[in-house]
Chains A and B, each alone.
Chain A
Amino acid sequence: MPLPGPSNDDLLRFIDANVESIEQLEILRILGETPETPRSAADLARASQTQPSAIAGHLAALEQRGLIKAEAAESELMCRLAPQTPELEQRLGELLRFYREHPVSLIQMVYARDDRLKAFADAFRLRKET
């Protein structure tokens, strides 16, 4: 059933390119609740129910994609939402809005992907779909 707002294809493309897991989606949601206030990695791990040993990897991946900014401060890693381009900012805003309004649908969309195999198949695409 089609849902209002950004098309599922747009969202799927954004998720495919930028969000690897539900944990990363939750991290973005939590940071989106207080976009001006940095949150510590430990705090994010607790709030997103992510293993503390895995949180650094998630944060590094999101930072590498230009979605968040992570800075070390007094032996803690502090993170905040910081999309690097206006387009990313718009897409991220749409994603977070969609997540607020249709959380179950979005989680189903994320789980429906087979990340590893799709990533493997996508590696051989010479032209990315726009």
Chain B
Amino acid sequence: METIVYVLCAVTAFACCALLIRAYGHRHVALLLWCGLFFLALTAENILLFIDVIVVPRTDLTVLRRGIALIGTLLLLYGLIGSPKAQ
């Protein structure tokens, strides 16, 4: 059951990433790129969570996972607050 949840989380995050990056390819609205990168980081974090808990349970990947989540969050914040407008 856990495995299914972790996989679904990763798949959902990746789907969001793909849709946002695809939309950025059409519209070139910077927010789409930053949100897409955030969901990419979220995908990576979910995959690492799966690896951490299911594949290599004796190894602690918490710091790596949290680091990736932090990077993703910072990218999102930059896209929302810090990036100059495209125009």
What distance in Å separates the Cβ of B26 from its nearest Cβ neighbour in chain A? 8
Q: How many residues of chain B have a CB within 8 Å of chain A? A: 14
Can you name the residue of chain B whose Cβ is closest to the Cβ of A21?
B87
Interface SS majority for chain A: helix
When the two chains form their complex, are residues A120 and B32 in contact, meaning their CB atoms are under 8 A apart? yes
When the two chains form their complex, are residues B86 and A119 in contact, meaning their CB atoms are under 8 A apart? no
Binary contact track B5-24/A, C-beta < 8 Å → 1, others 0: 00000000000100110111
Q: A23 CA to B23 CA in the complex, in Å?
A: 22
The 15 listed contacts between A and B (C-beta, < 8 Å) are A20-B27, A23-B87, A54-B87, A61-B86, A115-B29, A116-B29, A116-B31, A119-B23, A120-B31, A120-B35, A123-B19, A123-B23, A123-B32, A124-B16, A124-B19
Q: Which residues of B are interface residues toward A (Cβ below 8 A)?
A: 16, 19-20, 22-24, 27-29, 31-32, 35, 86-87
